[in-house]
Amino acid sequence: MLQLGAHVSAAGGPPQALARGHEIGCDAIQIFTRNQRTWHAKPVTEEEAEAFRHNRNEHRIGAVMSHASYLINIASPDPENHAKSQAVLEQELTRCHQLGIELLNFHPGAHLKQGLEAGIERIAQTLNAICQAHPDKRDVTLVLENVAGQGTTVGADFAELAAIIAQLDEPDRFAVCIDTAHAFAAGYPLHTAEGWEAMWESFDEQIGLARLAAMHLNDSKPGCGSRKDRHALLGRGEIGPEAFIRAVTDPRTCSLPLLLETPAGPAGWAAELRWLRACAAGEHPELPQIDESGANL
């Protein structure tokens, strides 16, 4: 069963996001549960948590994934920044637990010239500490997202994600989300049929398809291997439409939460979702005409 959606606004509080997702035709949604540009956030109230669950049921939203703050860097060698990053990721986990959100997506972090091996070790140690401190929050799966490979970020290569997972004390609490734009920028040529197959064979060999929990469907403005993270509208970037048709028809991916982060805005996401559904049904629709009206997530 298709689970198509987008990263929708939670302005006014997370419960408001469910109606916004429903309005544009989402089966699943991704949100920020807090202002991701600040270190501090108001705690979730019981009323807010109850309203979130009620609205989710009312609007028949399936999977929900929270995207953790971009400020978080649990690979940071700076003690103060690392401590703040760990604390915020723990807060994000608690917020998801309170709201009943089952997936918490986050970027692994950047080692800041301390070396890839040291960065991977620091990420794994931090995640182990978080799991140890929160044994009651196993209802929330912690989802590592692949990255484009800019700077000293960790997780562009599937082997780097596998190395983190190999050092986890409770690997069953973790999964992976693949962002198509990030994978393409990292050098996976998923725009071709051969490259698509090779990417998933590599993922299965190094991580295992059973650990794939979701995908971000984004085209890419820069080319393959650019190491630059700049999203484009579906089919309008260097990836092109065929990879996204494969995403909604390939048995390995079509039943996952497939979430848009394209710079389309709500009306544009609605059009992209309609296009994806038509592709999944075996139709061959033209790409929707959309003006880029939203910020690149």
DSSP collapsed to 3 states, the chain = CCEEEEECCCCCCCHHHHHHHHHCCCCEEEECCCCCCCCCCCCCCHHHHHHHHHHHHHCCCCCEEEECCCCCCCCCCCHHHHHHHHHHHHHHHHHHHHHCCCEEEECCCECCCCCHHHHHHHHHHHHHHHHHHCCCCCCCEEEEECCCCCCCECCCCHHHHHHHHHCCCCHHHEEEEEEHHHHHHCCCCCCCHHHHHHHHHHHHHHCCHHHEEEEEECEECCCCCCCCCCEECCCCCCCCCHHHHHHCCCCCCCCCEEEECCCCHHHHHHHHHHHHHHHHCCCCCCCCCCCCCCCCC
267 has pLDDT over 50: yes
Residue 204 resides in a domain: yes
> What is the pLDDT, as a whole number, of residue 292?
76
> What is the pLDDT, as a whole number, of residue 50?
98
Amino acid identity, residue 34?
R
Residue 202 resides in a domain: yes
> What is the pLDDT, as a whole number, of residue 293?
62
189 has pLDDT over 50: yes
294 has pLDDT over 80: no
Residue 236 resides in a domain: yes
295 has pLDDT over 80: no
203: left (phi over 0), alpha (psi -120 to 50) or beta: alpha
> What is the pLDDT, as a whole number, of residue 296?
38
Residue 73 resides in a domain: yes
Residue 36 resides in a domain: yes
User: Quick one: average pLDDT of 229-253?
Assistant: 98
Asked which of 12-16, 22-26, 38-42, 114-118 is least confident by mean pLDDT, the reply is: 38-42
User: Quick one: average pLDDT of 210-217?
Assistant: 98
User: Quick one: average pLDDT of 176-190?
Assistant: 98
187 has pLDDT over 50: yes
Residue 197 resides in a domain: yes
> What is the pLDDT, as a whole number, of residue 70?
95
Residue 287 resides in a domain: no
Q: Based on the number of CB atoms within 10 Å of its own CB, is 240 exposed (0-12), middle (13-18) or buried (19 or more)? A: middle
Domain holding 117, by residue range, is 3-280
User: Quick one: average pLDDT of 133-146?
Assistant: 98
User: Quick one: average pLDDT of 274-283?
Assistant: 98
User: Quick one: average pLDDT of 245-252?
Assistant: 98
User: Quick one: average pLDDT of 29-58?
Assistant: 96
User: What CA–CA distance (Å, rounded) separates 297 from 7?
Assistant: 8
> What is the pLDDT, as a whole number, of residue 140?
99
> For residue 205, what pLDDT band results from cuts at 50, 70 and 90?
very high
The percentage of residues in the chain with a pLDDT greater than 70, rounded to a whole number, is: 98
> What is the pLDDT, as a whole number, of residue 32?
98
**CATH label of the domain that carries residue 44:** 3.20.20.150
User: What CA–CA distance (Å, rounded) separates 92 from 236?
Assistant: 33
User: Quick one: average pLDDT of 43-61?
Assistant: 98
280 has pLDDT over 60: yes
Domain count for the chain: 1
Q: Active-site residues: which are they?
A: 37, 67, 70, 107, 145, 179, 182, 216, 229, 231, 261
Residue 7 resides in a domain: yes
> What is the pLDDT, as a whole number, of residue 291?
80
**Mean pLDDT, all residues of the chain:** 97
Residue 105 CA neighbour count, 13 Å, CB half: 25
Please name which of 25, 29, 6, 175 lies closest in space to residue 101, comparing C-alpha atoms.
Answer: 29
